[in-house]
Structure 1
Amino acid sequence: MTEQERFLPEKINVRQADETDKERSSHSKHYLKDHVDGVLEEWAQELPDLPVAPIAIIGRLERLHTYLRSEVTAVFERFGLTGPSFAVIATLRRAGQPYQLSQRALVDALQLTGGTISVRIDRLERDGIVERQPDPSDQRGVLVRLTEKGLQLFEQVAPLHLANEERLLSALNQQERAQLADLLHILLSSFDQVTSEDPRHPLHWLGASLAPVQVARTIRRASGLPDIPGLLVRSVKSSGSTTQSKLYEGDLIIAANGLEVRTIEELYKQVLTARENPLVLDVLHGLEHRQVSLTIHLPEEG
């Protein structure tokens, strides 16, 4: 029995909990082995107790990034662009007419620093692809607008870029692409955290701010607690259903309605499934397990 299974109630449906060791090992038997298979086999021989399973995913993502980046970049280079500069162009085009955004909005959209964005805009402005204008709503702000030349450039590059990306995914059929996209969405959404002002934030429907699973595990380890995956309650509203139902800061939400949850999206899905029925959470506070029943009223979508 693993450390996690010792602290999870038996009724909780842990993903892959019913999978046997034989079934798990069969997943890694590839007829044609890749570089990562070789790495894993070498570690299995040299240090069989070393927990190298994450390499099967992280190692492949890193190698794929290297291959894909060079192939994608080759298309942009034909037009004197880089991937980052095309990202600015595409973001402005996606904004709709008049194809402009404040520099601050570009910083937020591309998740970059103001200095990095300025360098990219400088280059594009020199090439006549974008232009800067004063922001009438912000005396110190700047609007960045796609020029006619920039718009025409996007219309040239985008179809070739997307056709190239489609070609790079040729090894996967449509069903496999959808499965991979869903799994990547789950993983990425655990890092892409919404702001507290966003109506999707748990503060607005759960009444609590949650740390994602990878952060929760780090905090529990640092506190000397068992390394159990779950969503850590960072803070709770001073009033509302959560405090009435005794959900406290430091609680670890490990399941909802009997199903394991590792992401906020999985928790939200159980909220939707419950509808007007109470949402039953399995919670750990330190080593103490308890259940919390909540009736959640989702905010109306605007």
Structure 2
Amino acid sequence: MDESSFGEDYGGTYRSGLVAIIGPPNAGKSTLLNQFLGQKVAIVSPKPQTTRNQISGILSTDEAQVVFLDTPGVHKSGQRFNRYMVDAAWRALTASEAVLLVLDAGLYLARPQLLERDTSLMRKRVQQSGNPVFLALNKTDTIKDKSRLLPLLQRLSELWPEAELHPISALRGNETDALLSGLLGALPEGPPLYPEDQISTLPMRFMTAEIIREKLFLALEKELPYNLAVIVEQWEERPTGISVYATIYVARPSQKAIVIGKGGRLLKEIGQQSRLELAEMIEKPVHLDLWVKVKKRWHEDMSFLGELGLTE
């Protein structure tokens, strides 16, 4: 499709718009986005709060185009860094035409007292948006006895009477087609917002930093991944491929030693995994240089947070 006229040939029956994906940390929002798109645009890990920035993914069909806004997990926090992440979710709400709330079924079956606490953080904001609400009760594949879901679904219908409920498994793709169909039907009529072959609005520098950060999340234990930041200092196209220079920032010298690993082995492994995924994504050879630097209290540095895209 000619990019200069990609919205001109669609009649009034075509639908397009933005859907904000919100929910508590580790509910499976990024996994669901990747499932919808059929490919990876958002990083995932078993650890909560992996997503820091608003991530966009674009799905185009013959009848509609939806721009998903995957957001950081909604939670209470007094730290400036975490507040900026949650603010990204609220900004996505105001920009969207529909809201997709994702909740972890297993968590609320095990700890039902958390359900009202977690959803109350979002309820007022969602109501203020005035948008159609879809509620995905995720990770149902982890529940052997599906009848256990019935009381939880009943309680959710009481807390969110305006929401369309969908028990799903984002990881397995179970029942996600019906959810997607509902979301597309809720969009207003209008031409596509982006060319049909575009899957994200994110620049490759950002995608590269996210891939590196994902490998760090998977390789490191406990709290250390939350004390890391990645900035791509240089991205250069050459005849032989792509040359990338990226810096991993940590808060303390002891963390730097852990990230590098004995004899530099961990950093080398992270670099190799990141390079392979990047090369597969862009279908070109990639040369990746990784450096580790200490930047004390980077969480509170407004200028640095701005470089990470975490300020308004």
User: Under a length normalisation based on structure 1, what TM-score does the superposition of the two structures give?
Assistant: 0.28
More helix by share: 1
Q: Which has the higher contact order (CA 8 A, sep 6+)?
A: 2
User: Under a length normalisation based on structure 2, what TM-score does the superposition of the two structures give?
Assistant: 0.27
Q: Which has the larger radius of gyration?
A: 1
